[in-house]
Amino acid sequence: MTGLFARIAFGGLVVAALATPAHAQSIAMKLTTTTINDPQHLFLIEYAKRIEAKTQGRIKGEVYPSSQLGAIPRVVEGIQLGTIEGLIAPPGFFRGIEPAFQVTEVPGLFADVDHAYRTLTDPSFHDPFLAVGEPKGVAVVSLWPHSAISYATVRPLRTLADFRGKKLRTLATKMELEAMQRVGAAGVPVDFGEMIPALQSGAIDGVRSGLVVMLGIKVFTVAKYLTAVNDTMIPVTLSVSKAWLDKRPPDLQKAVRETGLELEPWSHDIAKDFAAKSEQGWRDNGGEIIRLSAEDQAEFMRRVAPIAEEVLGGAPDANTKRLYALLKESAAKHKK
């Protein structure tokens, strides 16, 4: 992955180089993510470069990876207030503002990351999903799948039975917590920045996340066993502050949105490239890659697949039910 990481470093230099006195009147666009050295980080570097070029320096992107602007709750608040301009992260982080943002994080729906990309970017789902948060102050300008879910643990999970009794870090969503319960584990919500300390202290036994993400933050230093289940695809969005965007002239608003859309296919290719190299990267750092038997894999999926219908199909709010129905239709259309 040296070449990709070199591109990240080079991109950072490009962004820094553009921040010159000649652009003293530029409008700052602070862009942040929880991760580093992964497709989300690279997306922000590329977005900053493109938005500055597209607007001839009128908007200057500033990239802050690895939660440099604060933990997710603070950043989400900043997006709403307009003090932080953009966050790339799973849209479920905004579920407290708009419950429909969680519909893309369903287990068992996508055959693989390409199926997820075709589904999520189909205009029948993509366009209404991007618009759903605007009344709540969140303008989504890009959507694409980051990677598939794996489980990094202190002790190996070689069988489905090994999940029983384990405390695994999840997001605080009903679907993730329910998924862990159905395979006998306990979902424990832990802030992204606290995952490694929680593993070191024994507060959790493992982390439910994407291999690409966990490799980037070196989870292998404390949890070297990686069980690749791929039960859920991790979607990510670039969410922009509507309060900030509305203050910009129409041409700059258009540039902000267009740049996000233009980067979707580019980001999908980058994410696939990272994923293809990540398993070897994990092994190169002393980790082990594990896969369940065909029987255990099928049983895992059988248990978690109904959760989305139960949680989202019966959701009390209209937006969630509407977008979940559109997502299912798109997934069915694009499944090979």
Amino acid making up residue 107: P
**pLDDT the model gives residue 18:** 44
146/44 Cα distance (integer angstroms): 13
Q: Which candidate, 226, 308, 278, 262, places its Cα nearest to that of 113? A: 278
CA-to-CA dists, residue 115 to 74, 110, 118, 317, angstroms: 33, 6, 5, 27
145/277 Cα distance (integer angstroms): 17
**53, two tokens:** 């070029």
pTM for this predicted structure: 0.88
**pLDDT the model gives residue 15:** 46
Eight-state DSSP code of residue 309: I
What are the mean pLDDT values of the chain's consecutive 10-residue runs (336 residues total)? 45 43 75 94 98 98 96 95 97 94 94 96 98 98 97 98 98 91 97 93 97 93 97 97 98 98 98 95 98 98 95 92 97 94
> Are the C-beta atoms of 38 and 212 separated by less than 8 Å?
yes
Q: Which residues pair with 60 in a beta bridge?
A: 28
**pLDDT the model gives residue 66:** 93
Q: Which candidate, 51, 55, 45, places its Cα nearest to that of 12? A: 45
**37, two tokens:** 């050295």
Eight-state DSSP code of residue 110: -
- Can you spell out the DSSP letters for 232-299? EEEEEEEEEEHHHHTTS-HHHHHHHHHHHHHHHHHHHHHHHHHHHHHHHHHHHTT-EEE---HHHHHH
Cα 245 to the center of its chain, rounded Å: 22
**41, two tokens:** 């980080």
**86, two tokens:** 């953009």
- Chain position carrying tokens 């320096």: 57
**pLDDT the model gives residue 173:** 85
**pLDDT the model gives residue 21:** 42
On the CB side of 188, CA atoms within 13 Å amount to: 18
Burial status of residue 295 (CB atoms within 10 A of its CB: 0-12, 13-18, 19 or more): exposed
| CATH number for the domain running over 2-334 | 3.40.190.170
**pLDDT the model gives residue 328:** 97
**pLDDT the model gives residue 11:** 46
> Are the C-beta atoms of 89 and 66 separated by less than 8 Å?
no
**124, two tokens:** 């029948």
